[in-house]
Amino acid sequence: MLSVNFIRQNPDFVKERLALRHFSSPQLIDELIALDDQRRKLQAERDELQRRVNSASKEIGNLMRNGDTEAVEKLKAEVAAAQQQMQDVAGLNAIEKQQHDILVQIPNLPSKLVPAGRTPEDNVVVREGGVKPQLAANAKPHWDLVQQYDLIDFELGNKLTGSGFPVYKNKGAKLQRALIQYFLDTNTAAGYTEIQPPLMVNEASAYGTGQLPDKEGQMYHATVDNFYLIPTSEVPVTNIYRDEIIKESDLPVKMTAYTPCFRREAGSYGKDVRGLNRLHQFDKVEIVQLAHPDKSYDTLDTMVEHVEKLIQSLELPYRILRLCGGDMGFTSALTYDFEVFSAAQQKWLEVSSVSNFESYQTNRMKIRFKDGNGKPQLAHSLNGSSLALPRILAALLENNQEENGIRVPAALQPYFGSDLISR
């Protein structure tokens, strides 16, 4: 969340950066400043009344010691009147709520590195790697391969729960487990502390990372207890440090977690969601960092390199995109997407987003550190998928299909226990 003071001091800059996002309500900036003018006026009136109450209260003490009861009663009446006026200073709390309601509608400001553009077609390819495989003419998409090798049962998942809740079985379940363990081991070897967080969070946690009020329609809501099933482990993991002050010497804080993730994805349908391409429940390993503001973009670069090496180790063709202003998430200042190429589907599949949120999330969560002068400052938060499993699994199955089975990349073989998936 942006701060009111920053917006007051830089209204034209804020509007200019929001225009890069194609933000549809720039008038909210002027409304926010006008409300803040009212708030400051009312606050000044209340502060003056409080000053008068404090002064009179002190004087009452002196008069009582001198036995001047008449003057004491007169001042007590003045204090009571001033206190009543303080109660009657109309609308201060209401104005503060109006300000907050506007602030949560304003997305993060894009970094200067964010390219102009409105749609995914305007995203910039930073680099590509790997080799696209040449498959046989009879090559199959993953939704056929998983039936052939009895790896995933989509229909059983539909029976048990509904569409988008697949059942992994046999070597499919083992490969899923191998990928999760490999990703976690790679992350912890890079200095990330492994966390196993809850799969449901309260409203404050969902608000802290920006899922509320922006994405409530995409989350599953346990209404009786007012808990939300997590759309990503970023939510509980980042909130570990909500309302905390971190030692500057402890930055960066590096955490990784594996969790199932739950997303309603309302309105999704058609060929682009077939098989593993889009699910309501899926497994993902996440990396999260809390960094010093002066170093967060260097941290972002190291996180991008980490995810890139992970994909390279799986021998998958990939590309890295820098998202344009119109395609960025609400809370992000800069995002890099990773896509792997599916040779059977002949399309790119997104498998990771790595983002710097700067202080947008940490301002909501009040995650701070003390600088060299002992003054609390907001840390910067970053996160990335390392990796989301469904489309990684889809690409691995499709790109590595051979006549006698599906080849397992060398990096996964110690975890899977074999170099081939066969009947």
DSSP character string of 143-160: HHHHHHTT-EEHHHHHHH
Beta bridge partners of 380: 291
CB 71 within 8 A of CB 63: yes
Q: Is 263 annotated as a binding residue?
A: yes
Distance from C-alpha of 248 to C-alpha of 253, rounded to nearest angstrom: 10
Q: Is 278 annotated as a binding residue?
A: no
Rounded to 5 degrees, what angle do the CA atoms 301, 304, 307 make? 150
Distances (CA, A) of 229 to 5, 221, 223: 34, 6, 11
Other beta carbons less than 10 A from residue 95's beta carbon: 19
What residues contact 288, with CB distance under 8 A and at least 6 apart? 233, 234, 237, 238, 254, 255, 256, 257, 381, 382, 383
The 3-state DSSP class for residue 85 equals helix
CB 337 within 8 A of CB 214: no
Distances (CA, A) of 215 to 121, 220, 228, 326, 381: 23, 11, 11, 17, 19
Q: Is 52 annotated as a binding residue?
A: no
Tokens of 413: 């073989």
Element of type H or E holding 43: helix 27-65
Burial degree of 405 (CB within 10 A; 0-12, 13-18, 19+): middle
Q: Is 286 annotated as a binding residue?
A: yes
Q: Is 232 annotated as a binding residue?
A: yes
Q: Is 264 annotated as a binding residue?
A: yes
Burial degree of 247 (CB within 10 A; 0-12, 13-18, 19+): exposed
Q: Is 203 annotated as a binding residue?
A: no
Q: Is the CA virtual torsion 355, 361, 363, 367 positive or negative?
A: negative
Distance from C-alpha of 163 to C-alpha of 400, rounded to nearest angstrom: 27
Provide the pLDDT for residue 293: 98
Q: Is 265 annotated as a binding residue?
A: yes
Ranges in the chain annotated CATH 3.30.930.10: 120-421
Distances (CA, A) of 367 to 207, 252, 363: 14, 13, 7
The 3-state DSSP class for residue 4 equals helix
Provide the pLDDT for residue 59: 82
4-103 is a CATH 1.10.287.40 domain: yes
Tokens of 325: 């202003």
Beta bridge partners of 129: 318
Low-confidence ranges of the chain (pLDDT < 70): 86, 88-90, 266-272
Provide the pLDDT for residue 86: 67
Q: Taking the C-alpha atoms of 314, 317, 321 and 326 in order, what is their torsion angle to the nearest 10 degrees?
A: -100
The CATH homologous superfamily of the domain defined by 120-421: Bira Bifunctional Protein; Domain 2 (3.30.930.10)
Ranges in the chain annotated CATH 1.10.287.40: 4-103
Q: Is 155 annotated as a binding residue?
A: no
